[in-house]
Copies of this chain bind each other. A is one copy, B any other.
Amino acid sequence: MQNFETFLLENLPTSKSIHPTYEKALQQMLIAGGKRFRPALLLGVVAAYNSLMLDGARHAAYAVELLHTYSLIHDDLPAMDDSPLRRGEPTLHVLYDEVTAILVGDALNTYSFEVLSNAPFSDYTRVKLIQELAKNGGLNGMVLGQAIDCYFENKPLNVADIKILHTNKTAKLIAASLKMGAIIVGQEELGDKLYAFGIKLGLLFQIQDDILDVTQSSEEAGKLTNNDEDKNSFVTILGLDVAMSEANALADELTHELNSFDENLKNELSPLLTKYINRHKN
């Protein structure tokens, strides 16, 4: 992902104006890092089928990261999770103020679609990518998940409903990242298969987050942990042991499905997934 980091740094949003801190605030949480999990998935699919398209695909990977980053900035707001720490750094509303955090989030949300609309693809592909990102990152996707998460704070959900919550909040954007890779290389049928795979992967990812939240320190995680006791989490509902068993079962299932993929795709995604599907075991 070295190339993606370079691309991101060379394509940070810029805004010269009389506002003394706006441009820096726009860039800050993007520079701060993160796992770049979604870009890696998208680029992995592209690398498997057409590595010549990787340069162009970085624009799309960046768009997904922009949308994901805006969501983190807004999730961390005082009205939501009220988190002081993200990606190992103070959150924007702590560094600046709430206004800045709200507006930077708004700007990065819109910018993700601007980046896609100018990405070096055919208009057909640009439109497909925008449809996919908007559908999964929007009102019946990521935002709905966050709305459910916040509304049911302190109101325990059953396992089926918490899966709905996290399918929307986390899994759909992960699934869309894989599918967007398939769209770029013109493999739309594979895209649907990868989308279903990504939904399961996203759920695993969230169960792992919930597990790590109670087993890791804030320093290890780079964000405040043990901060979610009022939130619905798989660990809260299932207990740590059952959540671990679920994570292990999902990890096995995903590994099995991965082995059914084309050789090239398996070779691209395996190193990435092996690292992630086992992270709850450390």
Contact = CB atoms under 8 A, between A and B. Distances in A.
Interface string A14-48: 01011111100010000000000000000000000
A131 B111 contact: no
Given A109-B109, A114-B135, A103 B146 contact: yes
Interface string A101-144: 01101111111011011100011101100110011011110011
Nearest to A20: B151
Given A109-B106, A131-B114, A131-B118, A18 B164 contact: yes
Given A74-B102, A130-B130, A147-B100, A139 B15 contact: yes
A88 interface: no
A148 B17 contact: yes
Nearest to A148: B19
A161 interface: yes
Number of identical monomers bound together in the oligomeric complex: 2
A209 B243 CA distance: 56
Nearest to A115: B134
A277 to B, nearest CB: 28
Most B-side CB within 10 Å, residue of A99, A124, A164: A99
Given A19-B147, A117-B130, A148-B19, A80 B105 contact: no
Contacts of A137: 110
A138 B114 contact: yes
Nearest to A107: B139
A150 interface: yes
B138 A111 contact: yes
A52 interface: no
A193 B257 CA distance: 56
A268 interface: no
A106 B103 contact: no
A90 interface: no
Nearest to A101: B79
Contacts of A140: 15
A103 B77 CA distance: 11
Contact of A139 (B111, B134, B139, B152): B111
Given A21-B151, A26-B139, 7 more contacts: A17-B144, A19-B151, A22-B144, A22-B147, A99-B151, A108-B139, A109-B109
